[in-house]
Each structure stands twice: as C-alpha cells, then as structure tokens.
A and B are shown apart, each in its own frame.
Chain A
Amino acid sequence: MTTSASSSDSVISEELRSFVGLESIPITYDIERHAVERFAAAIGDTSPMYSDQEAAEASSYGSLIAPPTFFRSLLPGDYPKPYPEPFAHILDGGSKYRYNEPVRVGDQITVVRKITDLFEKHGRMGTMLFKISEISYTNQLDRLVATQTTTTITYGTGEKDSGVGDH
C-alpha cells in the first residue's frame, strides 16, 4: 500500500462533518415471504421459522419470521443531501444488533440511518475513514423492533467501488 499524499491533512471536511447527527430519509419496506426465504437460502440457514409457514405458525412465534441479520437487506434511504465520500474502497468493520422483537412476514419496517461518529486512522492502507452509523427499524405499530450500529471503513483512491455509496 502506498501512503496517501495528503495523509497529514484531515479527510473529514466541514461538509462531511455536517453529516454527523443527520438522519436519512425514512424508507418503509413490506416484509415479503419470498424475500425472507431467499435471504435464508442465501445465508444457508434452513430453520423452518423462515420458510415453513405451518411450522412457524405452530411455534412460539406464531408466524414466519425473518433471520436476525435480514435487516441488512433493508437498505436505508438517502441523506437529504449527497454524502461526500472521499474514498474509493470500502470495508465493513462490524455490526451490533439490539433486538426488541422479531420481524414477521407481513410487517412493514421503516428504516432510518444516522451517522453518530466520523474519525480517521492511518495504517497499512493509508488514511482510513471510520463511520459509525446507527440504524433504527420501526414496525407498523410504531414499535422499535431493532437497532443496528455499524462501523464502515473507507480508504484509497482510484475508481470508486460501485457499492461504496450504499453503506
């Protein structure tokens, strides 16, 4: 890895800093049976709670539910203004989920993301921007079903990875 030429200057501009605390435009998803089934198949989880309606209805849940990380498929909406991502490459640092109740097939889940912190580190990959975001998931009864706190790391110059803006 080459060192970034401007590693002594902060990449966190005033414009970027203004995103801390800003909420994304709420977006509401219908939790569809086949989307849940596809997600469970993709992660390789064969629990009948995600795909077998009869078994799920007979269980303590009483209905089909979504796997705990299904929230990853419910992408947050855009911020009210374009996010000025300074880097080309992205790495996921981790997630912390807090669950209040399961997500059921048929629910409507509203997603809002908020950046709670931005900081930079200098390492092997040059300057890296760390973004901590808190994402809330609220159901149709206005109950907060879960939150996910994510750490997103971006770094490097060059052609932007097409998915960098989504996270």
Chain B
Amino acid sequence: MAITNSETAMSNPMFEDVNVGDALPEIVKHPDTRQLVMYAGASQDFVAIHYDQNVAQEAGHPKVIIHGALKSAWLGELVTSWMGDEGRLLELDVSYRAIDFPDAVATCVGKVTDTRIVDGVGLVELEIGLRQEDGTISTPGRALVSLPTREII
C-alpha cells in the first residue's frame, strides 16, 4: 500500500524538539458519499442520515452529513501521524459543534499548547480541529500524547 504521508508518519519527534506553538502538519480530506458508505460499513454505524437523502432531510439537514466519528478518526490520524510510532496517544477529545457535508474540503489542523514532564514521561498537549473551507472550526478537540525523550530524565 502506498504511504502518501511517509515523511510525517516517520518523523518520530523527540520530546525535547517540540515547543509550545508548533503547528502539526495539516491533513487535507476530500470526503465524498462513497467514503461515508465505506465508513458506515467499517464502523457498523447505520444511522441513515449518513447515506439516505430523505432521512437526512427529515432530520433537518439539507443533505446527508458526515459521521462525527469519521471526523474524529481524521483528527486521530492528524495526531498519530505527527507523533510517529514511538509516541503514544493517551487522550483524544472531539466535540461536533457544526455539521460537515461530503464534497467539501476538510482540513485537520493542530498545534502544541503545552509540554511537561510527569513521572519521567514527556507529555505534549495539543489543540486540534477540523477546519471547513470558510475557516470555521466545525470540530474542535484536544489530545494528549507522550513522546520519547532523548535524555534519561
């Protein structure tokens, strides 16, 4: 399988190299209805607002909407591809404030908001979000990861 983002996936940052304010490499998603069907099957989420136009409209939406959990999966990828295989994801919080639709570009963004060492473990706090084409953050969130340290603390 082709690895399209191998540079970020293999970056394996060390705790000492990470600073508050650092931006994570953005991930751009181009969701379509095919992906929603794939996600429905893979996640066993058969809520019909994600694939049936009539049900979506009855529920008050202009058309089928993206699964919130698919958006959180993208934000998970944003964090795990940045932290690399030596990092560990400890916490992931996502809040679906606005609805996203297929056939619009969605960009995963994030930045470092805190770094600290607790019990010898290098912890990095991240602010993350899904940005719509007009700049609105539809899905804000946060994550906590541990990164390897160069020095033995």
Query: What separation, in Å, do the CA atoms of A141 and B80 have in the docked complex?
Result: 25
Give chain A interface residues in 41-99, CB to chain B under 8 Å: 41-49, 51-52, 59-61, 67-69, 72-73, 75, 88-99
Query: What separation, in Å, do the CA atoms of A25 and B103 have in the docked complex?
Result: 39
Please tell me which one of the listed residues B29, B47, B86, B91 contacts residue A97 in the complex, with CB atoms under 8 A apart: B91
Query: What separation, in Å, do the CA atoms of A7 and B76 have in the docked complex?
Result: 38
Q: Which residue of B lies closest to A35 (CB)?
A: B42
Q: Which residues of chain A are within 8 angstroms of B42 by Cβ–Cβ distance?
A: 35, 38-39, 41-43, 73
Give chain B interface residues in 18-40, CB to chain A under 8 Å: 29, 35, 38-39
Please tell me which one of the listed residues A46, A60, A73, A97 contacts residue B43 in the complex, with CB atoms under 8 A apart: A73
Q: Which residue of B lies closest to A159 (CB)?
A: B58
Contact indicator A47/B77 (Cβ below 8 Å): yes
Give the number of chain B interface residues (Cβ < 8 Å): 46
Give the number of chain A interface residues (Cβ < 8 Å): 47
Give chain B interface residues in 36-60, CB to chain A under 8 Å: 38-39, 41-49, 55, 58-60
Q: Which residues of chain A are within 8 angstroms of B92 by Cβ–Cβ distance?
A: 68-69, 95-97, 99
Please tell me which one of the listed residues A41, A46, A61, A161 contacts residue B4 in the complex, with CB atoms under 8 A apart: A46
A68-B92, A125-B60 as given contacts; A45 in contact with B72, CB under 8 Å: no
Chain B interface (Cβ < 8 Å from any Cβ of A): 1-5, 9, 29, 35, 38-39, 41-49, 55, 58-60, 67-70, 72-74, 76-77, 79-81, 85-86, 88-96
